[in-house]
Structure 1
């Protein structure tokens, strides 16, 4: 099969690799019809993790079931399914609590919790930027989609990660109807957090970024664009909240946050949120932070530590929640919102590419080139039997 293979920092290729196959009775084999390039992939693409050369990228996947293991009971050949980026078992103590991002069965390191497709330090599982994908514990991990999803794949593929992750951020931040919400980052996850805050009837949603194309997408759904290139985002948020600060804050950037001058600060958005959110406000963090980053320009963060404004955070009585989204806690209800026309997450999609153009997609998306806001690839076309 063809697959997108990591060759080293800022280098991927599409090459022939051994076909994915059924390995255990509980497996499902999926022919991938849509797979996204995620901002999280860029950390690995840039060589800022220990993702191994020769591995296959891709954790935002959907496609058609083409084979099932003998123990698969619910999923059927021919089903169109979306796959949570979390690979979970469904029966460990964490999964039983709905914490599927922290499954205790699927990681290959007993000191870790959680696994994912094609992701550094999250198990040995191949990614889905390929023609075929093996899905462990298929009955549990496959979300069977409605028939209309064949024609709306750019909506439904977002259920694999970024829509649930954006929703998760608003859950961590405890967004309620009538709240003012400040979101740092207008990448795909930040835009999904803005969509989620709107769906929860937030009174005012402000999105901080400096890329005009991304801010324009935020404005399309009624969010207030905050361009930090034009002035302090803290001051701008205060102006929109009568000097009080936002009720809730969402961090959707992560450890490779840059200031308007292009300098990297892993603590930038975290500390900006402490200043941007009101006394007793709440903050959700879904931007990726890793235990250590030897490539960081920040001496502290090379050891996975940040200079956090904890004194002000404590003095303001704020609270913070963070971590990866438990996709299965949200994907079915968000699927219903798409099906009923309440949510259309595909508004962020800028490019649909064949798999062979993965290197171009990675290069443009990593460069934040104008207009490259979200890339969806179709390794097998988007319909049964299509190429």
Structure 2
């Protein structure tokens, strides 16, 4: 049997076409009929040719839907259950999974130091969910049950990646209630980091970006928007704070950071964070950095070598936390915040579109035009 899916053809080109429908391959598998799947900023790295992704890969690591078929080893789930899956596939049984470090599962992607994910280059053999169906391995561990029906569909879809990842960025920084935070990047993850800081009791949150729609979203939720196109963002934050640095900083941009001039500069955000965070403060870096980058602006960063002022980091006694989000450590609690009405992360969603609109949606999201901030696709 076949199904429709979003397939990568070449840089800046995806198409929706017929591919083979997934099958149960292991007793712990389930097959989910996808109801909502999201386009992520991380997908753009592949879309733009900035990874080793080969033609034919099915995209989509932010997926939710209804269980249609179960392997005989699945015990906690039932046909018809509504579920959302962490973007990082994990076994639930290895030493890292047992410690809550599911992003660093040692079983599902042997030979790599990165997590496994649906539809992502070098992250395991798991086709993506920007499709009508997706296979979920180790399903009892990886599928989070949701209330039946369609309520909170947009909010729950964001539990696959960006809401937990934003929360994780704040966690990595060592944040404590009452502290001030500067978030660099107001894409979906950056906005989720800012929102998470507010939910957790931040006194002030500054959000740095240059896209007007993104800065407007940050202001809507009670953050202070900082347009780095208008001047040095660190200077702007320090001026607003009478020269005082912030307690914590979050890098929600990653290796495709740009300088104020608009020229790509991979270390731009790291340098700014070291400047803007107070001595003994902390940096959380959920923004993606990669060990190789075919489109890097220089040879060093092409090999994953990013220069930044480590001497100043040391002098200020800053702590630094990095790495992919351990979604399983957060998604159950964040789900319950949504159900209780305490959190509504779907404020970042700009478009709900049919799967067949994926090619145009990728183009507009990549160009940051027409208000495309977070796109949800519905097969």
Q: Report the equivalent of 1:377.
A: 377
What is the DSSP-based 3-state SS (H/G/I as helix, E as strand, rest coil) of the residue aligned with 1:194? Answer: helix
Stretches of structure 1 that go unaligned for 5 or more consecutive residues are 380-387
Is residue 2:35 matched to residue 1:33?
yes
Q: In the TM superposition, what is the alpha-carbon distance from 1:111 to its structure 2 partner?
A: 4.2
SS of the residue corresponding to residue 213 of structure 1 reads helix
Q: Secondary structure at the match of 1:262?
A: coil
2:115–2:324 contact (8 Å) kept in structure 1: no
Normalising to structure 1: TM-score of the pair? Answer: 0.96
Point out 4+ residue stretches in structure 1 off by more than 6 angstroms: none
Name the stretch that deviates more: 292-301 or 97-106.
Answer: 292-301
User: 1:302 deviation in Å?
Assistant: 1.1
- Given that 1:213 and 1:370 are in contact with CA atoms closer than 8 Å, whether structure 2 keeps it comes out as no
Give yes or no for the alignment of 1:102 onto 2:104.
yes
Superposed CA deviations along residues 201-241 of structure 1, whole A, max 9, x for unmatched, are 00000000000100000111100000011111001111233
Q: Could you say which residue in structure 1 is the equivalent of 2:67?
A: 65
Is the 8 Å Cα contact of residues 266 and 298 (structure 1) preserved in structure 2? no
Aligned to 1:118: 119
Q: Tell me the distance in 2 between the aligned counterparts of 1:343 and 1:202.
A: 15
Instruction: Identify the residue that residue 385 of structure 1 maps to in structure 2.
Output: none
- Pairwise CA distance, 1:125: 0.8
- Describe the SS at the equivalent of 1:261: coil
| Distance in structure 2 (CA, Å) of the matches to 1:12 and 1:294 | 19
C-alpha contact 2:70 2:78 (8 A) present in aligned 1: yes
Q: How far 1:112 moved relative to its partner?
A: 3.2
- 184-193 or 139-148: which moved more? 139-148
**Aligned equivalents of 1:159, 1:82: Cα separation in 2:** 7
C-alpha change, 1:237 and 1:370, in structure 2 (3 Å) is farther
Q: Is the 8 A contact 1:265 1:298 kept in 2?
A: no
Q: Which residue of 2 aligns with 1:242?
A: 242
Question: Under a length normalisation based on structure 2, what TM-score does the superposition of the two structures give?
Answer: 0.98
1:279 positional shift: 1.0
Whether the 8 Å contact between 1:155 and 1:338 is mirrored in structure 2 is: yes
Match of 1:308 in 2: 308
Quick one: distance in 1 between partners of 2:298 and 2:203? Answer: 37
- Unpaired runs of at least 5, structure 2: none
Q: Tell me, what secondary structure is at the counterpart of 1:305?
A: coil
Matched-pair contact (CA < 8 Å) for 1:104–1:113:
no
Whole-Å separation in 1 of the counterparts to 2:240 and 2:125: 46
Aligned residues: 377
Instruction: Please say if 1:135 is aligned against 2:136.
Output: yes
Shift of 1:303: 1.4
